[in-house]
Structure 1
Amino acid sequence: MQGVFTGFATIGVVIAVGALLAHLRIVDLTAQRILSQVAFFVGSPALMVMTLSRADVHDVLSRNLVATSAAVLVPVVVYGLLARFVWHRRLGDATIGALSAAYVNAGNLGIPVASYVLGDAALVAPTLLLQLLVLQPIALALLDADALGRAPSLLQLVTRPFRNPLTLGSLLGVLLSVTGWTLPDVVGNPLELLGNLAVPSMLIAYGIALRLGPGLGAAGSVAELVTTSALKLVVQPLVAYAVAHVALGVDGPALLAIVVTSALPTAQNIFVHATRYDRGTVLARDTILITTVGAVPVILLVAALLG
């Protein structure tokens, strides 16, 4: 279980650095926004190119993807219905809330957990591809549409994701993986370097926001925060288990991989998206905090029961 603690501890330390910098008044909320923008427009697209170019895209055709997709769909639908009919959230805020309830930290935490706990970093690839190529483009299209202040046309919904740097980086990475092409060093090395700044930028920006932003639950209903956190930590892994084991007959290490991946906390880049579009920032921040802390015992329990 050392990999679980190592992954969470690494994230926690970098977040703490951001909070400390803010506490010492070395940086402020302006710096937080700049870091988030750099991560969104530069670091994350480069990271997606390099990460997905090395992934085995044939894994997306596995039972893993079916169970993972169902585990994402259920929390998104549940939160979406509540956001629409109970909390009456606008489109952008509801989109960030849905992402907070279902978008797992498959990159900077999922990869080390898959490596150390499951023994194979490639096991997280189906989740990465599902999120980057399906869930994220749809969410970004909705966020872009909300920013326009009007309902998007079908053409806008179809084309807008492809104007987004993260989507373009993801698609380029998949193209490289499928074709087997390797970027020349003069291109690959700078992309690798730029990609390395994505996760630290996200985490430091998140730490700044924790220190200088509103208090926990200050931006809305506590029930909404509890809902997003429960959907992420409890509902998503339970749905993954039910679909994988009961419906598809998955067992053993493959089942453990599916459930552990679904039990990962909300990804930090959801906070980057929230900051970029100025929608649901505190809900995203608080859900990330709660699920990051809560995922440790959840993943340990899953590993104990299924390992």
Structure 2
Amino acid sequence: MLGVLEGFTALAVLIALGALLAHVGFLTYASQTMLVRLAFWVASPALLLTVVADADVRVVLSASLVASAGAIAGSLALYLLLSRLLARRPAPETVVGALCSMYVNAGNLGLPIAAYVLDDAALVAPILLLQLLVLQPLALAVLDRTTSGRAAGAGHILLRTVRNPLMIGALLGLVLALTGVTLPTLVRAPVDLLGAMAVPAMLLAYGVSLRLGPRPGAGAPVAELALVVGLKIVVQPLLAHLVGLAVGLDDSALYAVTVLAALPTAQNVFVLASRYDRGVVLARDAIFLSTIGAVPAIVVITALAA
């Protein structure tokens, strides 16, 4: 428990530093954009490449992936069922709501929490790959079809998928892990240096967004907002724990998949909602509230695991 609190303290200090630097005017929206771009396009792919390359392949492609997939599928099924009882929403808004209830912030928060709370950044690789390779392409295909009136071609969807830098880094690392190839020091050393920038850059940028970003309003329907946030930070980790028990995960792996399932809704969902102009307010508020609720949820999970 002490190690978890120490890990969260380290994350909180960097987030608070980002907010403070934004408050005094040292960091601006432009700074936040630069930090996010640096983390997304350069540092995070480098970090994923190294942590997946060094990971035991049995960990990346293991029962943990089954537990994460089961939790995501369960949250999706419950959202589709319960949301229809609240109101019949158009397909694009339904896609955004479903993403809010199951799409984990594995990049911005998952990597640092896996690294500093769970002591192994590779633990986030299974759920990250699942989201990048399955959930995001499917969501994009449905959104393209339901907003433009025409289906996106398989080549278009594949191109979008393979151009994601996080996926590229994770897949390259997976190839190295599967083949047993070791990068020469002249290549590995600069990649390690780039990867070391990822967590600080993401946390500082998040702190800037908390200080300078818009505060959530009351635009999203309260019932649906409560539904997606509840599914995200309560139901999904519970399902991950139950599926993990069913597939025989040991205590440490079970704790890891439960904690990662309790992470808040990913900021990618807001980007997708804004891109298609569907469910934007719901995505924004769900990200904000689930981010606030994720910390006590993870603390409770840790206390119960102890």
TM-score (norm 1): 0.78
Three-state SS of the structure 1 residue aligned to 2:244 is helix
| 2:114 matches 1:110 | yes
CA distance in 1: counterparts of 2:273 and 2:198, whole angstroms: 18
Three-state SS of the structure 2 residue aligned to 1:26 is coil
Three-state SS of the structure 1 residue aligned to 2:112 is coil
Instruction: Give yes or no for contact 1:97–1:283 (8 Å, CA) kept in 2.
Output: no
Three-state SS of the structure 1 residue aligned to 2:203 is helix
Query: Which residue is 1:135 aligned to?
Result: 131
Query: Which residue is 1:43 aligned to?
Result: 43
18 and 76 in structure 1: CA distance in 2 versus 1, 3 angstrom threshold: farther
Three-state SS of the structure 2 residue aligned to 1:114 is coil
Instruction: Give yes or no for contact 2:7–2:113 (8 Å, CA) kept in 1.
Output: yes
Instruction: Give yes or no for contact 1:236–1:262 (8 Å, CA) kept in 2.
Output: yes
TM-superposition CA deviations, 1:38-61 (whole Å, max 9, x none): 221111111111111111111245
213 and 61 in structure 1: CA distance in 2 versus 1, 3 angstrom threshold: closer
Query: Which residue is 1:52 aligned to?
Result: 52
TM-superposition CA deviations, 1:240-288 (whole Å, max 9, x none): 232233x44556555444434433x227xx3267459845777666545
Instruction: Give yes or no for contact 2:75–2:101 (8 Å, CA) kept in 1.
Output: no
- What's the C-alpha RMSD, in Å, of the aligned pairs? 3.4
Three-state SS of the structure 1 residue aligned to 2:110 is coil
* Paired residue total: 294
- Give the letter aligned to residue 66 of structure 2: V
Instruction: Give yes or no for contact 1:100–1:228 (8 Å, CA) kept in 2.
Output: yes
CA distance in 1: counterparts of 2:100 and 2:203, whole angstroms: 18
Report deviation, 1:140.
4.3
Q: Runs of 5+ in structure 1 lacking a partner?
A: 116-120
| 2:267 matches 1:266 | no
Query: Which residue is 1:152 aligned to?
Result: 152
Report deviation, 1:231.
1.5
CA distance in 2: counterparts of 1:153 and 1:177, whole angstroms: 32
Query: Which residue is 2:300 aligned to?
Result: 301
Query: Which residue is 1:71 aligned to?
Result: 71
Instruction: Give yes or no for contact 2:39–2:202 (8 Å, CA) kept in 1.
Output: yes
Deviates more, 1:177-186 or 1:137-146: 137-146
Aligned positions of 1:153-232 closer than 5 A = 153-217=153-217, 220-232=220-232
TM-score (norm 2): 0.78
CA distance in 2: counterparts of 1:21 and 1:132, whole angstroms: 30
Report deviation, 1:236.
0.9
Report deviation, 1:168.
1.1
Query: Which residue is 1:118 aligned to?
Result: none
Query: Which residue is 2:99 aligned to?
Result: 98
TM-superposition CA deviations, 1:209-261 (whole Å, max 9, x none): 2222221246634444433321122101211232233x445565554444344
Name the % identity.
39
